[in-house]
Amino acid sequence: MTGNADAARAHVSMCTGCHTIPGYQSAFPQVYRVPKLGGQSAKYIEAALHAYKKGERNHPTMKAIAASLTDQQIADIAAYYAVRGAAPAQVATK
């Protein structure tokens, strides 16, 4: 499926709260390190979101979010993050 990065803007607003803060850790239900999305390949992001949607990956928040997205929205979001290379401001300190 071909993703349209521009169409993703409305959806990624709900991702940025967690995924743009370098080193941010969500405290519930366990401490997780939130992965950086910008610059990852569209294929990888798309595969990860489908895995959450199908329950193959098991993070409760990401499962709920992925389940609410259509396949087209997932493709759009993947395209959006793939074109956002590793801008200096987004480099997470690991």
The CA distances from residue 39 to 12, 25, 33, 56, 65, in Å, are 14, 20, 17, 23, 21
- The answer to whether 49 and 41 have CB atoms below 8 angstroms apart is no
Q: How far is the CB of 63 from ligand HEC (least distance, A)?
A: 9
Residues 25-84 that bind ligand HEC (CB under 6 A): 26, 32, 34-35, 37, 45, 48-49, 57, 59, 61-62, 65, 77
Q: How far is the CB of 77 from ligand HEC (least distance, A)?
A: 5
Whose CB is nearest to ligand HEC? 15
Which positions ≥6 away from 58 have C-beta within 8 Å?
A: 52
Longest dimension (CA), the chain: 35
Residues that bind ligand HEC (CB under 6 A): 11, 14-15, 17-19, 26, 32, 34-35, 37, 45, 48-49, 57, 59, 61-62, 65, 77
